[in-house]
Amino acid sequence: MIKGKIHSSESFGTVDGPGIRFVLFLQGCPMRCLYCHNPDTWKLNGDREMSADEVIAEYKKNSVFYKNGGLTVTGGEPLLQIDFLLELFKKAKKEGIHTCIDTSGITYDRENAEYTEKLDRLLALTDLVMLDLKHIDSDKHKILTGYTNENILSFARYIDSKGIATWIRHVVVEGYTDDEDDLFRLGEFIGTLKHAKALDVLPYHTMGVSKYAELGIKYRLEGLPSLSRSDAARAKQRILLGIKASRNKKETC
């Protein structure tokens, strides 16, 4: 029996997919995003483990509230535990549960046949992917996260080719992800994705800063204030302009 390494769970999530959802936070993430508010999920080894049956049992305790919602698995980076996700989503679909993966796509490796085979089986059990696109510029993405973005953009294209409904998330951080040209280019990329169904643009916040002190980790954006919702809204409009331009271009080709 495969057991997932669990950070925590939330019984009544309202921002992690459609409807009210049971949200499972998994341990482990290779990236070190400058603005990450969950550094306690970075390490793969956590104190808590759960089987797929145990997760489904927890879900069923409040299943009456999830009629228009479902199960979202997030992290950390949930695709680090793809074997556990496969077992969990098989059981979820048998129960008629709507399934969602909240991911950065960082683990995608198109050259790895074994990984791709598992991913294909998982996607066949997945109703929605919430994809966190952190930066369209690969060099800036590496500064922001420690990794370039090539395999992440490839992941976005791959799940789109599979017809998976996708919600895009983007966090706006002053001086890092708020350049107007970058936002427009991000929109142009999103505009090429046929199955992108929603765009959520979030303002940077400092709510996780205290965790760094508790863990003895230096917070590298110390002193940077939270972004206003109005600034995030302006960034979203810029991305939407890029999406429109991309789709108009396709229509005229």
249: confidence class by pLDDT, cuts 50, 70, 90: confident
- CA–CA gap between residue 251 and residue 246 (Å, rounded): 9
Cis peptide bond upstream of 175, omega within 30 = no
What is the tens place of the pLDDT at every residue in 125-159? 999 999 999 999 999 999 999 999 999 999 999 99
Is the CA virtual torsion 70, 71, 76, 78 positive or negative? Answer: negative
If you average pLDDT over residues 48-74, what whole number do you get?
96
If you average pLDDT over residues 61-89, what whole number do you get?
96
Residue 175's pLDDT is: 97
1: confidence class by pLDDT, cuts 50, 70, 90: confident
- CA–CA gap between residue 84 and residue 146 (Å, rounded): 26
Q: Helix %, strand %, coil % for the chain, to 5?
A: 40, 20, 40
Residue 47's pLDDT is: 76
Residue 46's pLDDT is: 74
First CA to last CA across the chain, in angstroms? 52
Residue 253's pLDDT is: 62
Helix axis angle, 180-190 to 229-252, nearest 10°: 50
Q: Which residues pair with 132 in a beta bridge?
A: 169
179: confidence class by pLDDT, cuts 50, 70, 90: very high
Amino acid at 236: K
The burial class, CB within 10 Å (0-12 / 13-18 / 19+), for 231 is middle
